[in-house]
Each structure stands twice: as structure tokens, then as C-alpha cells.
Amino acid sequence: MRLLHLLVCLLAGFSGFGQNNISLIPEPVSVVQKEGLFLLKDNGVIAIPANHPDAERVAHFLAAAITKATGYKTGIINDTTTADIHFNLYQTPDSDLSTEGYRLSVTPGAVSISANTAAGLFYGVQSFLQLLPKEIMSPSVVKNISWAAPCAEITDYPRFGWRGLMLDVSRHFFTKEEVKQFIDDMSRYKFNLLHLHLTDDQGWRIEIKSLPKLTSVGAWNVKKTGRFGTFSKPAADEPRDYGGFFTQDDIREIVQYAQDRFVNILPEVDMPGHSLAAIASYPELSCTPGADKYRVNSGEQFMVWPSGGHFYGLLDNTLCPANEKVYEFIDKVFTEIAALFPFEYIHMGGDETARNFWQKSEAIKALMKRENLKNLDEVQSYFVKRVEKIIESKGKKMIGWDEILQGGLAPNAAVMSWRGTKGGIEAAKQKHEVVMSPTTFAYLDYMQGDASLEPPVYATLRLNKAYRFEPVPDGVDPKYIKGGQANLWTEQIYNTRHMQYMLWPRALAIAESVWSPREKKNWNSFVPRVEKQFERFDMAGIKYSPALYDPIIKAGKGVNNLPVIELTTEIPGLDIYYSFDNSFPDHFYPEYTEPVIVPKDASMMKLITYRDGKPIGRMMVIPVAELKKRAGIK
């Protein structure tokens, strides 16, 4: 393995481009590297087409990025003859490029970015910034380096028009400034859609002027620390001062900030389930109303998820489909939401509705009789269809999680497939639009490495699996698949440092899955490109997970009922050292070469990976009792 690695390095060294090898994420459609370098210089000039404010905005974006890290002044002019960097918009659209594509030409004398639209120019700029040294990511001026970009001819355009990331701002609130930072970070990798999960049981995060209690009551819970979902029940006198919400001015500012970076915002108001914050504000929206009965959830358990069985609520967190006031409420909410968000879709949630309280409700029984609804799936479908009518009355299209298929899909609804790809496949068969975001490949709240190291979550999604995300399943007409997205639920994410850790590098894998041509995806080329991005994250002060350097541990049953441990790695070129004597292993310890039986009296296994003689993975410490549990040994 190590010899192969050495050979690869030597070959890279002899390729003639050395340090300036091109390394981009997402991988473009076509890259031809040329001899030579382009050097940024002080008082450089960007030439832009006349009378094109969007192109001018992209030029200001590039100039600001250059100035921040280099300290160089950069001018913007309309004169096309004398510039260092040229922006061109095709008069007759280049049909190879679609709306978001670009051509980037870097020569020793000048850079030119050509596109059909300003969005294409923006993506050309993002690729150009990735060609510059990692120091371009520095938040302050870096002196005494050569700001060189390798010469190249790049042609590029996206595979999908919907390239999304979802951020849950309900479970934990993130501020306007934090959301803007998120938009900057995602747009660097050519994501163009931010799905904001604005409401849930733990908080309502958007001002609705006609329903003020949604934010005076619904945006606040009790701050708890530890593992979400297991918190103690808040006492009546504990202060409810944890949370927050976006004012409508905040939303307008975020929307503008996103538009300036060619990012659409999809607002989600989750209903009829996940609605405890709304019900705590307006209890009459529940089928089981009652004064002083409902509080915004603070992370204490109130839903039960039996393995293999139906989940149910200990508290009713659903809007009541049998209550006309609920539809008046939804109308008010979507009137204001539709006016704030220019994007053509509104997301109505629709997932994980616990219906055990509906089962006993007289109002639901009467609704079923009146509307001839045979079961609770049909009750849910009745609700979703009415919501679709409301959303359409505001001039928007509706999208929902794949549970909206239950009981019959609303006539025009788009489906976001999260419980695997099954729902998406079914919706596409019914000729509905689909966005793929399956838990199996695209849930970024899952642990990304071994449970002994990662903050606990109930499932794992490693980088190499996220990289295998393929939005178009076999046998499905691709014209119904609008694209894909990854979802970042924030039950266990309390701050932006951990948000970044969970996003990166897996969001890079998703970015490549939704932008790059399918045949261009290649794990072995992706890994070194990820490591280049790590250097950039370090420079920018962005946190990321190093889990790809840690071993994958498989524990099985060996002789004499002892665990047998099989170790693999996600990436090539790593050596694993281990101990069973409680001391910390290093490269003088036994190297893993074949499955090992845990010694009879050992109580702890410790492991670490090295690369080229240096430690690179984290020290892993796993009790043998845990290994036995994983192996199914009593």
C-alpha cells in the first residue's frame, strides 16, 4: 500500500505541474491544465459587460475575495481591452452551458470567464478562487506569497438544477449572521438551494405578523445541556428564554444575501406533525385543545419510536385536520411566507405525523364520515390536499416529505424523498417532481465515524457512502428528478462549530453528486481533493471532521466466545496500530495486518492510524465490553 502511495506521489511530481496541480470540488465537466501560471497583482482590473448589474455584483464579489486575503486593490471597468480578468456574457446563448455553466480560461496574461448568465460567471469565479493558493481563504491579509493560479481551460455546467442543503433552525436556532455564513460556505461548492426548516416542536423561527404568539411563545424553550431527547422535563418556573426567531426584515436580508450568491431559499413550515411550537402558541389548533397543556419542547422525550413498530406521541403535537380554524391559520402563515420568499416552492413538511390522538378524536371521526375517508392515511391526505390548495392560492408550488404519498398524493405536489429513494421512485412513476435526499446517503446529522469517537446519534453515514449518493435511481425517468440535497438536522447541534464539523467534508461529497457528471465521479480522485479542501478550511477557520482517517471497526464472534476484530480504512495509505494493554499505541506497536482476536483478559482496545510514519487518525479507545456488545457476545 505504502509503495503504491509513493509511486502516485512520484508520478504527480513528474507531471510537470507539481504544486499547482488542479484540484477542484465539485469536479468540472472538463479540465485541461496548461503550462504556466497566472499571477494576481495589485491594482488588477476586472472587465465586465456594460449595463449588467448582476455581472457587476459578481465582479465586486471576486474583488472583495481577492482584497480580503491579498490586500490587493482590484478595479472594475467596462473597457474590455486592458483587464486582467474578463467577464463575458454570451450574446447568443452557448447551448452547451445551460443557465448555470461557464467557461474559464486561465492563461499567463489573463483570465476570462464566459457564461450565459451572471450565475455562470459566479460559478466560474468560485472555480477560479479554488485555483488560487489556499491562502485566498484567509480572513486577513497574507503577505509574501505568490498568488498564482495554474493555466487551464475549463468547461463546466451542473448535472442538476436543484442542489440543496437543508438547515434545521428549529431544534437549535441559528442567527441571521450564522445563516449568511452558511450560505457563503455552501455557495463555494456551487450549491444553489438552502432549505430552511423553520418550524418544529422545539421552536417557531419566523415572525408571522398576523399570529404574534408564534414567536412570542413559540420561539422559546428552556436551555438544556447534554444529549437532546433525554433531557429532564422543565419545571414550570424554569425560564423560557432559549431560542429566537427571524423577523421579517431578517428574512428579507437573508433572502437578498442568498440571491446575491445565486442561492434560492426554500421555506419549510412542518405540518400537521412536528407542530408543538405552534400548538403551544395557539392550543385551539390541536384536536385535543386545553389551556396550559402544551409547552414548546426543550428536548425532553415526548414521542416514542419503538423499533419496527409505529411511533406515537405522548403529547399531541399535530394540527387538527378536522378543524376549520387550522386552515385559516395555515392561510395566514403562507400568505406572509409567500410574500417573503421569492422561490417558487413552499415546503409543508408532512413527515412523521403521530396520529394516535386523531384515532380517538370525535372531530376526526366526523370528518371521516363527512368526507368519506376510510382511514387515517386518507385523513392525512385530505389535509395535505387542502394545504396544497392554500399554497397554490398564493402563487406557489408545494413540496413535502415523502409521507405525503400516504393516502394519495395531492395533484401537483413535488416529493422530497427522505426514507430512502422508494417514495421518490413512486412519485416519479406518478409523474410528480422529485428531490432526492435519502437518509442512506444524505443525512448529515448522522455520525460520520465510529460511535466511540462521534457525538452519539442513532445512525452512521461515512464520507465514502455520502459520495455514492446518486439522485437518479435505476429505472426512473430522470426528467422527474429535479436534483438532490443533504439535510442537517440540529437536535444534537448546539453551535456553528459543530454544524461545520457535521457538514464538512460530507457536503463536498453531496456537492459533487449533484453538480458533476456521473462518469466523472471517482472516489480515489475525490479523497486527495478533499484533503486540499481541508487545507482551505484550516486557512478559513472552518471546522471539519477528520473521521475519514479513523479505522472502520467490525467486531465478530471468534473462538472461545472472544471478539474477533476486523479493521479497514475508508481511504488508502493508512497504517493501523493497536494495543490491548491500556497504553496508547504508536507506530512501534503491533500493526494491523489481519483480523485479531481480543485477548481473554483485555478490557480495552486502543487504535490509531498513521500515514507516512506520522499519526493522522484520532486515538480511539473502546472498551472490550463494547466490542463484545457489537459482536453479539453475551
The catalytic site residues sit at 200, 274, 352
Q: Taking the complex as a whole, how short is the minimal distance between the CB of residue 394 and ligand ACM, in angstroms?
A: 23
Question: Are the beta carbons of 317 and 201 closer than 8 angstroms?
Answer: yes
Give phi and psi for 104, each to the nearest 5: -120, 120
Interface of this chain with ligand ACM, residues 588 to 627, rule: CB under 6 A: none
Q: Note if the bond before 234 is cis, omega within 30 degrees.
A: no
Q: Taking the complex as a whole, how short is the minimal distance between the CB of residue 426 and ligand ACM, in angstroms?
A: 16
Q: What three-state secondary structure class fits 199?
A: strand
Closer to ligand ACM at the Cβ: 4 or 459?
459
Q: Taking the complex as a whole, how short is the minimal distance between the CB of residue 350 and ligand ACM, in angstroms?
A: 9
Closer to ligand ACM at the Cβ: 162 or 418?
418
Binding mask 316-355 for ligand ACM (x = CB under 6 A): -----------------------------------xx---
Here the cell at position 280 is: 403551544
Question: Are the beta carbons of 492 and 506 closer than 8 angstroms?
Answer: no
Q: Taking the complex as a whole, how short is the minimal distance between the CB of residue 288 and ligand ACM, in angstroms?
A: 23
DSSP string, 602-626: --EEEEEEEETTEE-SPPEEEEHHH
Closer to ligand ACM at the Cβ: 351 or 626?
351
Q: Taking the complex as a whole, how short is the minimal distance between the CB of residue 268 and ligand ACM, in angstroms?
A: 9
Q: Taking the complex as a whole, how short is the minimal distance between the CB of residue 418 and ligand ACM, in angstroms?
A: 4
Question: Are the beta carbons of 466 and 446 closer than 8 angstroms?
Answer: no
- Number of residues counted as binding ligand ACM (CB under 6 A): 4
Q: What three-state secondary structure class fits 460?
A: strand
Closer to ligand ACM at the Cβ: 357 or 401?
401
Binding mask 417-456 for ligand ACM (x = CB under 6 A): -x--------------------------------------
Q: Taking the complex as a whole, how short is the minimal distance between the CB of residue 224 and ligand ACM, in angstroms?
A: 21
Sign for the pseudo-dihedral over CA of 587, 588, 590, 591: positive
Kindly state the helix (H) or strand (E) to which residue 164 belongs, with its residue range: strand 162-168
DSSP 8-state secondary structure symbol assigned to residue 9: H
Could you say whether residue 401 binds ligand ACM (CB under 6 A)?
yes
Q: Taking the complex as a whole, how short is the minimal distance between the CB of residue 621 and ligand ACM, in angstroms?
A: 32
Question: Are the beta carbons of 439 and 166 closer than 8 angstroms?
Answer: no
Q: List the alpha helices (DSSP H) in 410-504.
A: 422-429, 439-442, 463-466, 496-503
What is the β-pairing status of strands 563-568 and 596-597? antiparallel
Binding mask 90-129 for ligand ACM (x = CB under 6 A): ----------------------------------------
What is the β-pairing status of strands 162-168 and 148-156? unpaired
Give phi and psi for 526, each to the nearest 5: -70, -40
Q: Taking the complex as a whole, how short is the minimal distance between the CB of residue 287 and ligand ACM, in angstroms?
A: 21
> In a 10 Å sphere around its CB, with 0-12 CB exposed, 13-18 middle and 19+ buried, how is residue 531 labelled?
middle
Closer to ligand ACM at the Cβ: 147 or 418?
418
**Cα dist. 4→9, 117, 348, 612 in Å?**
9, 44, 52, 12
Q: Tell me the residue nearest to ligand ACM as measured from the CB.
A: 351
How many CB atoms are located within 10 Å of the residue 628 CB? Answer: 17
Binding mask 348-367 for ligand ACM (x = CB under 6 A): ---xx---------------
Could you say whether residue 515 binds ligand ACM (CB under 6 A)?
no
Closer to ligand ACM at the Cβ: 352 or 566?
352
Among 271, 410, 551, which residue's Cα sits nearest to residue 279?
271
Closer to ligand ACM at the Cβ: 178 or 351?
351
Here the cell at position 452 is: 466511540
Q: Taking the complex as a whole, how short is the minimal distance between the CB of residue 490 and ligand ACM, in angstroms?
A: 12
DSSP string, 57-80: HHHHHHHHHHHHHH---EEEES-S
Burial 476-489 (b: 16+ CB within 10 A, else e): beeebbbbbbbbbb
Closer to ligand ACM at the Cβ: 489 or 515?
489
Closer to ligand ACM at the Cβ: 303 or 410?
303
DSSP string, 203-229: EE-B--TT-THHHHTTTEE----SSTT
Closer to ligand ACM at the Cβ: 351 or 535?
351
Residues near ligand ACM (CB under 6 A) are: 351-352, 401, 418
